[in-house]
Amino acid sequence: MNRIKPPPPQHKRPIAQSIKSGRPEATFKGIPVSPGVAIGPVFGAHEPEAKAEYRTIEPSETPGELARLEDAIARSRKQLGKLRANLGLLPDESQAEIAPLIDFYERMLGSTRLLEGVRQRIREQFLAAEPAVTAEAESLAGLLLARLTPETSSEERSGLERRAEEIREIGRRLVRNLTFAPFRSFAGLPEGAILVSEALRPADAALLDPSRLAGVATEEGGAEGHTAVMLRALGVPAVLGAAGIAHAMQPGDIAVVDGGSGAVTLNPSPTHLAAARRGVTAFARERQRLARLCRLPAETQDGTSIDLQANLELPIELPLIAQSGAHGIGLLRTEFLFMNRESVPDEETQTEAYRTVVEAMGGDPVTIRALDWGGEKEIEALSSQGLVPSADVNPALGLRGIRLLLRRPELLETQFAAILRAGVAGPVRILLPMVTHVGEVRAAREIYDRVVRRLRRARVRIPDELPPLGIMIETPGAALSADALALEADFFAIGTNDLTAYTLAVDRAEADVADLYDPLHPAVLRLVQFATEAALRMRMPVSVCGEMASNPKLTPLLLGLGLRSFSMNASAVPRVKQAVRAVMIDWCARLARRVMEQSDPARIQEIVLGEERG
Ligand code: PEP
Ligand code: MG
């Protein structure tokens, strides 16, 4: 089953030592999201052509089609707004080049002839929105180009051609937003390349092959978004939110990505390159050292045994989990099984996928989370089949996770059935995402019982002892109702990523507010403490599976709050194990008491991160 080899360490790869681009060195600062240093030729991943097949609609579908168009316009405006917000960080020449372009695109998305023409084609020719956009953009571009005559000066000619191309480009952006096209082609990615792009969606990250890719640098994205989570899981050094990088890079450039400091350098000087090579080697040595921890127990100095498990998104990560020394999977994010495909995976497909993972874990438990659609995790198969609303005003607060599953119980039934069937191959647990109140757990359990009865009636093999049904504690609502929820659920998994985002009203994947995203904010810690204590009072298993669990500097605090089980990206397991093995539980409890007395997040940072150990 380990079909895919883990990525070769970069110091063993043929990095582009001899390529010289001749362009000056330029450094961009971003958010370090996945550690390690990578050196390689840049690869600009541009969006593929958006497909707009010719399709007509029934007259009765006109209002729906117009609404889809408005959604796509709103999305396009939002994307341009983000680009504009980042403009100030670009070098002056780039600003001067890009700002008028954004102005033009934004104007085109106002009340223009283009959009009026598109609406008219939908209303009068009953065209679907995509072909209506393409036809209208083509027709306007054609009108501009028709002005060209043999007498047109070359300056005027290139001006008209540029404008026509810009109209087509805004058409392509609208079609991409109409089709939710997350697909990007990484087919031409040369071995050992650094992927540089404006943005990388979680669905795109799921397509990356870590054995070919040296590193990633993007302009958008935050440290705890799902793209960052994926890149860490894949062990690919990465910097997100590096404003200007995608516009500044040119084919043939060499880049150094420092996933520890957050710096990305194009065309490094020989001195810089030599330092980066030392960084690559040092990181590889450190990895080897940590790998030796694999066989040692995760035990504190006073002999308390701690459960360290791995989070899994894609089967490609299984070999990394095997190497990490994790005992089981504490969070299998099933969203990635639903991404980059045209239809929702059926029960057979899901059973097979889950069984593969369960078997690979050789008897260690696997916690499989039901589909957490929504937020930044867009799944085209669901959107295109009309299983979810085409647009949410604020998707993070919309029909996400369990809310969608209860609205579309057939999705949950299929998933429960597949997990139950896979549970014959080894111990599994089922986890419900985005719970906010007890009614959701009760409703999900009714569906669970119904699926069990159906499978037993049909004599399908499922485990005699049913897999426990647990819930994510990742909304403030759930954390504050943890005492009531503990009566309904079999276990808690605390998702500190969303818990932090929802508590502090900070988007996890938004570079602009990344500095406000603080899991050490006392409000977040109090919610973690409240939920943990509610579980411990009931003697119910509780773990942390958000990114907080993977930061070894936070391990003593979490131990001090009473937590004994953590699930994290596989590459973090050795470091967290090292942190566990270095402490005594008493000391951790004192640290936690000191931290929980504080109200100032900066002071908490000092105590926890500043190694103020007493
Ligand atoms: C979380 O929110 O902390 C979590 C683990 O879930 P996800 O990151 O998949 O949203
Ligand atoms: Mg979450």
Beta strands in 14-80 (DSSP E): 26-29, 31-34, 37-44
SS3 568: strand
Distance 498 CA to ligand 2 centre (A): 5
Which among 447, 437, 395 is positioned nearest to 416, based on CA atoms?
Answer: 447
The atom of ligand 1 lying closest to the CA of 493 is: 5
User: Is the Cβ atom of 496 under 6 angstroms away from ligand 1?
Assistant: yes
Give the residue-averaged pLDDT of 243-251.
89
**What pLDDT does residue 11 have?**
45
Distance 609 CA to ligand 1 centre (A): 23
User: Is the Cβ atom of 333 under 6 angstroms away from ligand 1?
Assistant: yes
User: Is the Cβ atom of 119 under 6 angstroms away from ligand 1?
Assistant: no
Long-range contacts of 12-20 (CB under 8 A, 24+ apart): 13/191, 13/192, 13/214, 14/191, 14/192, 15/39, 15/40, 15/192, 15/214, 15/280, 16/40, 16/41, 16/192, 16/254, 19/252, 19/254, 20/254
Query: What value does the mean pLDDT of the chain take?
Result: 88
Distance from C-alpha of 500 to C-alpha of 510, rounded to nearest angstrom: 13
- 390 in Cβ contact with 399 (< 8 Å): no
Tell me whether strands 469-473 and 492-494 are parallel, antiparallel or unpaired. parallel
Residue 598 has pLDDT above 90, yes or no: yes
**What pLDDT does residue 76 have?**
86
Please tell me which residue, 595 or 219, carries the higher pLDDT value: 595
Which among 465, 391, 36 is positioned nearest to 216, based on CA atoms?
Answer: 36
The atom of ligand 1 lying closest to the CA of 498 is: 2
Give the residue-averaged pLDDT of 547-574.
96
SS3 460: coil
Tell me whether strands 31-34 and 238-240 are parallel, antiparallel or unpaired. antiparallel
Report the alpha-carbon angle 43-46-49, nearest 5. 145
Check if 545 is active-site.
Answer: yes
SS3 588: helix
**Nearest residue CA, atom 9 of ligand 1?**
333
Residue 388 has pLDDT above 90, yes or no: no
Check if 226 is active-site.
Answer: yes
Tell me how far apart the 2 most distant CA atoms of the chain are, in Å: 88
Residue 379 has pLDDT above 50, yes or no: yes
Distance from C-alpha of 145 to C-alpha of 33, rounded to nearest angstrom: 46
Band (pLDDT 50/70/90 cuts) for residue 110 is confident
Using a 10 angstrom Cβ sphere, with 0-12 exposed, 13-18 middle and 19 or more buried, the burial of residue 101 is middle
Domains, the chain, in order of start with CATH, read: 12-47+187-268 (3.50.30.10), 59-179 (1.10.274.10)
Which tokens belong to 72? 């796509």
Which tokens belong to 591? 């640290």
Residue 188 has pLDDT above 60, yes or no: yes
User: Is the Cβ atom of 498 under 6 angstroms away from ligand 1?
Assistant: yes
SS3 284: helix
Band (pLDDT 50/70/90 cuts) for residue 512 is confident
User: Is the Cβ atom of 334 under 6 angstroms away from ligand 1?
Assistant: no
**Nearest residue CA, atom 1 of ligand 1?**
495
376 alpha carbon, closest ligand: 1
Distance from C-alpha of 445 to C-alpha of 454, rounded to nearest angstrom: 14
The atom of ligand 1 lying closest to the CA of 229 is: 8
Band (pLDDT 50/70/90 cuts) for residue 386 is low
- 24 in Cβ contact with 248 (< 8 Å): no
Residue 17 has pLDDT above 50, yes or no: no
Residues with CB under 5 A from ligand 2 (ion): 474, 495, 498
11, 226, 327, 588: the active-site residue: 226
Residue 606 has pLDDT above 70, yes or no: yes
User: The pTM is what?
Assistant: 0.71
Task: Give, as one character, the DSSP assignment of residue 305.
Answer: B
User: Is the Cβ atom of 309 under 6 angstroms away from ligand 1?
Assistant: no
- 345 in Cβ contact with 338 (< 8 Å): yes
**Nearest residue CA, atom 6 of ligand 1?**
495
Q: CA dist 314 to 9, 90, 91, 297, 571, Å?
A: 20, 35, 38, 26, 14
Distance 544 CA to ligand 1 centre (A): 10
Q: Residue 27 CB: number of other CB atoms within 10 A?
A: 14
Query: Is the torsion defined by CA of 242, 244, 250, 251 positive or negative?
Result: positive
Distance from C-alpha of 353 to C-alpha of 407, rounded to nearest angstrom: 24
The atom of ligand 1 lying closest to the CA of 335 is: 9
Q: CA dist 207 to 44, 262, 493, Å?
A: 15, 23, 27
Residue the block writes with tokens 């049904």: 469
Look at 99-113, 296-310, 334-348 and tell me which has the smallest mean pLDDT.
99-113
Mutate to test the pocket of ligand 1, among 313, 333, 473, 551 (most ligand atoms within 8 A of CB): 333
Distance from C-alpha of 97 to C-alpha of 80, rounded to nearest angstrom: 15
Please tell me which residue, 181 or 229, carries the higher pLDDT value: 229
247, 521, 545, 588: the active-site residue: 545
Angle, nearest 10°, between helix axes 92-108 and 154-179?
70
SS3 334: coil
**What pLDDT does residue 85 have?**
67
**What pLDDT does residue 266 have?**
95
Report the alpha-carbon angle 466-471-475, nearest 5. 175
